[in-house]
Structure 1
Amino acid sequence: MTPEEMAARTSRAVAAATAAGRDLGLAVEEPRVLYDVFSVVVHLAPEPVVVRVPTVLPPSYSRAPETQPNQQRSELAVAGWLADRGHPVVRPSPLVPREPVRRDGFSMTFWQFVEQLPDVEPDMTQRMRQTARLHAALRDYDGGQLGFWAPFGSYVPEGLSELARLPHLIDAADLRRAQREWDAIGPVLTSRAAFTEAFAGVDLQTIHGDAPYHNMISTPDGDLWSDFELVTTGAVESDLAMVGPEALAIYDEAAVALGLRAVDERVLRLTEAAARLAMIAALAMAPELPMLVDAIAPMVDQWRATEPVTAL
């Protein structure tokens, strides 16, 4: 897409969010964009409501249109469940129903506006402890309609398949290696029974799904968990991939104090391999978000420098 086409897409997303908000009874006067990469995030000022409008979607969402709203329902349900129990989370807006809204080709979700502190350097020690607290809280969530490692099961194989039709985005040898690696680890990431057999004794639970220590918002009242777009059932190691040994040690200490298990090194290696493949698969969205090519290039180089995964 050209810059002009992306700007037009942003304008359409803002218009759709504004119209949807007004349809729900919100007095929207000055919508303003807070963020615009994979989603356009719009503050429906002066209402204390923020709308997340995903605009750059994985290929699987176009092939199975019900996937996106179903995942958004899971996102709203889990974040709302945490908020209702007093946990530090950006809550779904109490001014509208906790349901995704479809408008003008976009499926969007509505959240409570929170004041964000600018230029705050994340405290990784505190955030790793917060990640352990999040996992402890989510152990009590019954799972509802959450899939098993939902993002990996569709996102990675669909992305790799799409890249076969986009040879200018990835070297053919790299794509063959990525596909072989997915063939080796994919079976245990797409079948709960296969995972349980391969990793006996490693429990599964509701997890954030996308680096919760990174997806936190610093506010005057402290850090809040946010962005549960990829919430799913899986192993906690998936939320900790590639944080490094020091951060893992902090997490383990906090987790054990909360009655949770320490990180399983085998599962951590599995989820780190899957995270690298997810980065490769993300290139399939580059036609809609060209910045991904340069953004992902260093990660592709790091992946090339690792030993190929041939088996669990």
Structure 2
Amino acid sequence: MGGPLAEEAFAVLRDVCDGLGIDHRDAELLRVRSNAVFKLRSEIVVRIATAPNALTRLPMVLAVARWLAQQGFPAVRPADEISEQPVVHEGRVVTFWHYVPASGRPTTTELGEILRSLHLLPVPPVALKRFADPLAEVRRAVDRSEELTPCQRAWLRDRIAELTERWSGLGVDGSPVLLHGDAWIDNLLRCTDGHVVLCDWDGVAVGPREWDLVHTYHGQRRFGLTAADVDAFADAYGSDLRSWPGYSTLMEVRDMYAVGIHIRNAGADPFSRRELPRRLDSLTRGEQHARWYMAEPVTVSQ
């Protein structure tokens, strides 16, 4: 994992850790997308946010994570022995978390069960954002991007406006709940003792439960999950989003949402620069089941 984003993240890691007296030697870069994520030898995970709204959002993320710990909910825990967080360095916002050694891939059944438990919790006493406009960050990314062509920018603006209007007309089931915000199977970790925990709470908010559920259904459309995976998820959660009248609109909104990170990162991240045209091409062609990738596809040679 290279490129300017990774190089910048390593520089931020060194400066912040040096300032706090934390040993960053042999730090391992786990991924670099919406966050650069490092694992230190001390079993601490360092997350360096790239999103423009990180400074206003991350104090709430930490507060919710601490509240979840008090509730005994299986989620990653902040490394509160590092008291000075979040740390802001040259426009980047840095948080520290306890590393969770993972063993094996969780199932969509486990994801459905843990989301059902999450959505039964009370809304925490934290000033969380209301999840009202899922495409707000995509809209800003389109306006700021230097990678999009004028035609792409115009198409995206029109499409985002259409989907935002359709989203605002959806009727959701029940009261707003505590949302994870990015409840994708890859954000569920199986610990070495067998239990699972949810990680990556950057999108935490209060809003319609349907937003947490759609990620798994969208995973079948774009990222290789099977119909059996989705059926198992729905059975475990206790309801099936496919029977909801707003399902089609929600899936289209999720499609557009999944383009935003690559619009924002395409200038500096080689993978985003390659993945963005794939996603835009399938959207403009109306291809609802074209395969997208979370990382570089693996080529097997004989």
TM interval, shorter chain, is: 0.7 to 0.9
Aligned with residue 214 of structure 1, among 186, 202, 227: 186
**1:85 matched to which residue of 2?**
71
Are the counterparts in 1 of residues 110 and 196 from structure 2 also a CA contact under 8 Å?
A: no
Uncovered stretches (5+) of structure 2, i.e. residues with no partner: 221-226, 289-302
1:96 aligns with 2:96: no
For 2:6 and 2:197, locate their aligned partners in 1 and report how far apart those are by CA, in whole Å: 30
Q: Give SS of 1:152's match.
A: coil
For 1:133 and 1:167, locate their aligned partners in 2 and report how far apart those are by CA, in whole Å: 41
For 1:42 and 1:280, locate their aligned partners in 2 and report how far apart those are by CA, in whole Å: 24
Q: Give SS of 2:45's match.
A: strand
1:184 aligns with 2:157: no
Are the counterparts in 1 of residues 147 and 267 from structure 2 also a CA contact under 8 Å?
A: no
1:147 aligns with 2:129: yes
Are the counterparts in 2 of residues 240 and 248 from structure 1 also a CA contact under 8 Å?
A: no
For 2:26 and 2:171, locate their aligned partners in 1 and report how far apart those are by CA, in whole Å: 49
Measured at CA, do residues 248 and 98 of structure 1 come closer, stay the same or move farther in structure 2, by a change above 3 Å?
A: farther
Are the counterparts in 2 of residues 237 and 267 from structure 1 also a CA contact under 8 Å?
A: no
For 1:270 and 1:20, locate their aligned partners in 2 and report how far apart those are by CA, in whole Å: 47
1:40 aligns with 2:40: no
For 2:186 and 2:173, locate their aligned partners in 1 and report how far apart those are by CA, in whole Å: 28
1:30 aligns with 2:25: yes
Q: Give SS of 2:114's match.
A: helix
Are the counterparts in 1 of residues 118 and 178 from structure 2 also a CA contact under 8 Å?
A: no
For 1:43 and 1:233, locate their aligned partners in 2 and report how far apart those are by CA, in whole Å: 30
Per-residue Cα deviation, 1:201-225 (whole angstroms, up to 9, x for no partner): 5432221111343212222022210
> Cα distance, 1:101 vs. partner?
1.4
Aligned with residue 113 of structure 1, among 79, 87, 99: 99
| Matched positions, count | 274
Aligned CA-pair RMSD: 3.0
1:132 aligns with 2:116: yes
Q: Give SS of 1:109's match.
A: strand
| TM-score, scaled relative to structure 2 | 0.77
Q: Give SS of 1:110's match.
A: strand
Are the counterparts in 2 of residues 207 and 239 from structure 1 also a CA contact under 8 Å?
A: yes
Measured at CA, do residues 280 and 44 of structure 1 come closer, stay the same or move farther in structure 2, by a change above 3 Å?
A: closer
Measured at CA, do residues 101 and 10 of structure 1 come closer, stay the same or move farther in structure 2, by a change above 3 Å?
A: closer
For 2:140 and 2:233, locate their aligned partners in 1 and report how far apart those are by CA, in whole Å: 32
Measured at CA, do residues 68 and 31 of structure 1 come closer, stay the same or move farther in structure 2, by a change above 3 Å?
A: same
**1:69 matched to which residue of 2?**
55
Measured at CA, do residues 7 and 252 of structure 1 come closer, stay the same or move farther in structure 2, by a change above 3 Å?
A: closer
For 1:68 and 1:208, locate their aligned partners in 2 and report how far apart those are by CA, in whole Å: 16
**1:269 matched to which residue of 2?**
248
Q: Give SS of 1:266's match.
A: coil
Q: Give SS of 2:245's match.
A: helix
For 2:7 and 2:173, locate their aligned partners in 1 and report how far apart those are by CA, in whole Å: 51
Uncovered stretches (5+) of structure 1, i.e. residues with no partner: 62-66
Are the counterparts in 2 of residues 147 and 233 from structure 1 also a CA contact under 8 Å?
A: yes
Percent identity, aligned pairs only?
A: 19
Measured at CA, do residues 297 and 240 of structure 1 come closer, stay the same or move farther in structure 2, by a change above 3 Å?
A: farther
| TM-score, scaled relative to structure 1 | 0.75
